[in-house]
Amino acid sequence: MALEVREVSSRRDLREFIDLPFRLHANAPQWGPPVKIERRLYLSPRFNAFFNHGEAVLFLARRDGRVVGRISAQIDRAYNEFHDSRWGWFGFFELEDDPEAARALLAAAEEWLAARDCDRMVGPADFTLNEESGILIEGHELPAMIKQPWQPPYYQALCEGAGLEKAMDFFMWNLEVSDRSKVLPVLFELAEQVGPRHGITLRKMSRRHLRQDMERFREVYNAAWARNWGFVPYDDKDIDQYALEMQLVYERDWFMVAEQDGETVGVAITVPDLNQVLRRAKGRALPFVWHWLRRRKIIDRVRVGFLGIKPEYQHTGVAAAFYVEHFDAAGRSAKLRGGEMGWILETNEAMNKGMEAMGGRIVKRFRVYERML
């Protein structure tokens, strides 16, 4: 049957775009289904802050009227301005085990980006690398945590068979509460010296002042991550949206700020694994609300989404203080067993060594691909 790739242009198209992964992964317990109404809002230029500095198009692939794949193509002007580059991105990459559909979808994204003077196509990333990104290369048997993609193994074969090349791998490290005895003793010593030697204290964020503390997060992120591959700075509207998202998953024990004489030194944000709730909701809003209200009885794992220190303070041991506080917070919970930390670039030697020192182990690997245009 003939294959057709066309731009999403109607409400029906958008519904089919959102519904496709529910059909593809319905029998995969590892997949974390999003709430469908949230996906509609996320894809809307009216509600997503990405569109203040970016543009995007969505494509569907059909065989005889049946949707077999989807993809987005997008340009992040903030990224290109910061890096003085002409990169384009693809994302929302979902499809059946169909090499022809994979090639056609990637070709559609490539054509759209090339027509807008991009010289490289990178992805997948659901608009930005701060959202679901990459193709799962290792760890298919494990459940995806919040804001982690999950794909069956054939996705890697389709990407590489279509001529995409590796750009970067990201690691997820697993840490268990029971692994505290495996932590190198020097980390506890460094953590104890943070206050007496450097005058640095840790405090917990409050829900009431969360938007204000998200400014501190932006300050640290834009300073500590500026040289990382794929980095793009947050602007005001990005932080407005991020703060609203964090209100949903806020837990006092896991939102931390390190300070010295009133200056922000570092920030750590860890969130409960909301996918354990989302799997029960199966994409529907009302069941999600019900299970979310019961989340403390359901969720037994967390994801360390961000842990950053300003460069001038990275010698003080404040990272060790954050690590130890995570173990202490987990120890105070009757239900929590452990969690995962990432994305960590394969090239980030300091963070990967830190995870080894914590007794962690790599359990998932995600790959971002690229193609020169």
Does residue 227 have a pLDDT over 90? no
Domain match, 212 and 344 both: yes
d(C-alpha 75, C-alpha 88), whole Å? 5
Looking at 168, 189, 218, which one is the last position of a domain?
168
Check whether residue 186 and residue 281 sit in a common domain. yes
For residue 129, pLDDT over 80 is answered with yes
Is 68 within a domain? yes
For 1-17, what is the mean pLDDT? 95
- Assign 351 a pLDDT band (cuts: 50, 70, 90): confident
Does residue 7 sit in the same domain as residue 145? yes
What is residue 104's predicted lDDT score, i.e. its pLDDT?
97
Structural domain boundaries, residue 111? 3-168
Q: Say what the pTM is.
A: 0.93
Average pLDDT over residues 295-317: 89
Asked if 264 and 350 sit in the same domain, the reply is yes
Question: What is the pLDDT, as a whole number, of residue 77?
Answer: 96
- In this structure, of 103-117, 153-167, 257-271, 344-358, the range with the lowest mean pLDDT score is 344-358
Interacting residues of 85 by C-beta distance below 8 A, sequence separation 6+? 79, 120
Report whether 317 contacts 194 (CB < 8 A).
Answer: yes
Confidence of residue 338 (pLDDT cuts 50, 70, 90): confident
Same domain, 342 and 275: yes
Residues 258 and 322 sit within 8 Å (Cβ to Cβ):
yes
Residue 56: pLDDT over 90: yes
Percent of the chain with pLDDT over 90: 71
> Average per-residue pLDDT in the chain?
93
- pLDDT value for 329: 86
Residue 264 has pLDDT above 90, yes or no: yes
User: Do the bridges between strand 120-123 and strand 87-95 make them parallel or antiparallel, or are there none, so unpaired?
Assistant: parallel
DSSP symbols for 280-320: HHTT-HHHHHHHHHTHHHH--EEEEEEEEE-GGGTTTTHHH
pLDDT band, residue 125 (cuts 50/70/90): very high
Residues 162 and 215 in one domain: no
| Residue 328 and residue 187 share a domain | yes
Task: Say whether both 197 and 324 belong to one domain.
Answer: yes
**Structural domain tally of the chain?**
2
Tell me how far apart the alpha carbons of residues 361 and 348 are, in angstroms, rounded to a whole number. 15
Identify whether residues 179 and 61 lie together within a single domain. no
Neighbour tally for 162: CB within 10 Å: 18
Q: Would 30 be classed as within a structural domain?
A: yes
